[in-house]
Amino acid sequence: MSGDYKSVSRVRARPRLLRILKSDWQLYVILSVPLIWLIIFCYVPMGGIVVAFQNYNIRRGIFRSDWVGLRYIKMFVNSPNFLQLIGNTLSLSVYSLLVGFPMPIILAIALNECRFASIKKTVQTLTYLPYFISTVVLISIMSQIFHLRFGVFNVLRNSLGMESVDIMGKASLFRHLYVWSGIWQGMGFEAVLYIAALTNISTEIKEAAIIDGANRFQCMINVDLPGILPTIIIMLILSVGNLMSVGFEKAYLMQNPGNLRQSELISTYIYKLGLEQAQYSFSTAVSLFNSATNFVLILTCNLIVRKLGGSGLW
């Protein structure tokens, strides 16, 4: 503010704090419970990451466990499954991103071209529905349909004279099942955002393009796509930021001895180490390695977008 304010700021420091408290204390009271929650359930666990550098003992707690430095991080990097875990996680997430990311955009553009409002609405409602189905139910449906003996897929194959295939138990099919069931579940939901962005594009630009002789395809490429590009970029950065954090739940639910070679991901490994074998420190070290990589990925991606002239996330 003004110059003389600065010179007396020391003197005024206390009154200023008091003034803030006097005017805002009721808001702080309302905010206090969420803030306490945030500290206990988000920031204390962040501090708890230090167990990655300790030989953590649950009886002794964080303050009395022995420090071991980078031992567990090194142990993970040198462990025989390090490359396999990283490879499985990355190839699954890159595959999801490459195939799963464009799908909702394609669906949104197709629905946007549909001139029958009732059909558009029905299809939107329908494709949106699987989003409400839980992961457990999704995997259950898959294992019912692809059941080795009774599943409708194999019954159909048998009636056509083909042999039964154990779809769920094949390592080579795990990624396809994972990614395509994800598309099945999320496509309609993610399309909503793009449909919203598409309806915001002014019809005047489109009319001008048609007068200039563009056909509908050219309209889509030159008007619609650039119009939703900012939304696409934001969604892309968010997805890249999630590359390493492939959901634990779905992969864990889909795991069976047959596909473990490809379905063991960093997140499922963390769970097994930490909760099934109670190796808290090692597990946390693996998870720290994972989220650090993730953080770097999202920062890099944001930086690239900003260098290319986009607005980025921040």
Partner 1 sequence: MVKKSRRRFEIADVSYLTVVWLIIIISSLMVLLPILHVLAASFSSSEAVIRGVYLWPRDFCLDGYTAVFQNSKVLRGFVNSVLYTVIGTAFNVVMTICAAYPLARNKLHGRKTIMMLFVFTMLFSGGMIPTYLVVHRLKLVDTFWSMIFPTAINVYLMIIARTFFENTIPNDLYEAAHIDGANDFQLFLYIAIPLSKAICAVLALRYAVQHWNDYYQAVLYIRSDGRQPLQIVLRNIMLATNIDIDSMSAMDVEQYAKLKQLSYLLKYSLIVISTIPMLVLYPFIQKYFIHGVMIGAIKG
Query: Which C-beta is closer to partner 1: that of 94 or that of 152?
Result: 152
Tell whether residue 241 is a contact of partner 1 (CB under 8 A). Answer: yes
Q: How many CB atoms lie within 10 A of CB 253?
A: 19
- By CB under 8 A, what part of segment 63-102 binds partner 1? none
State which of residues 59, 64, 132, 204 lies at the interface with partner 1 (CB under 8 A): 132
Tell whether residue 48 is a contact of partner 1 (CB under 8 A). Answer: yes
List, in sequence order, every residue forming a beta bridge with 55; answer none if it has no partner.
66
State which of residues 74, 216, 261, 306 lies at the interface with partner 1 (CB under 8 A): 216
Whole-angstrom distance, CA of residue 210 vs CA of residue 10? 66
State which of residues 196, 296, 303, 304 lies at the interface with partner 1 (CB under 8 A): 196
State which of residues 96, 127, 255, 263 lies at the interface with partner 1 (CB under 8 A): 127
Whole-angstrom distance, CA of residue 307 vs CA of residue 312? 9
Whole-angstrom distance, CA of residue 298 vs CA of residue 292? 10
Tell whether residue 46 is a contact of partner 1 (CB under 8 A). Answer: yes
- By CB under 8 A, what part of segment 144-183 binds partner 1? 144-145, 147, 150, 152, 155-156, 159
Q: Which residues does 230 contact at the CB level (< 8 Å), separation at least 6?
A: 197, 310, 311
258-295 exposure pattern, b = at least 16 Cβ within 10 A, e = fewer: ebeebbbbbbbbbbebbeeeebbbbbbbbbbbbeebbe
Is 277 in contact with 289 (CB distance < 8 Å)?
no
Whole-angstrom distance, CA of residue 228 vs CA of residue 161? 48
Tell whether residue 27 is a contact of partner 1 (CB under 8 A). Answer: yes
Is 68 in contact with 53 (CB distance < 8 Å)?
yes
- By CB under 8 A, what part of segment 272-301 binds partner 1? 274-275, 280, 283-284, 287-288, 290-291, 295, 298
State which of residues 188, 223, 240, 255 lies at the interface with partner 1 (CB under 8 A): 188
State which of residues 106, 162, 171, 229 lies at the interface with partner 1 (CB under 8 A): 106
Tell whether residue 107 is a contact of partner 1 (CB under 8 A). Answer: yes
CA distances to 34, 64, 69, 205, 218 from 27, rounded to whole Å, are 12, 39, 43, 46, 53
The contact mask relative to partner 1 for 246-275 (x = CB under 8 A, - = no) is --xx--xx-------------x--xx--xx
Tell whether residue 118 is a contact of partner 1 (CB under 8 A). Answer: no
State which of residues 85, 197, 251, 305 lies at the interface with partner 1 (CB under 8 A): 197
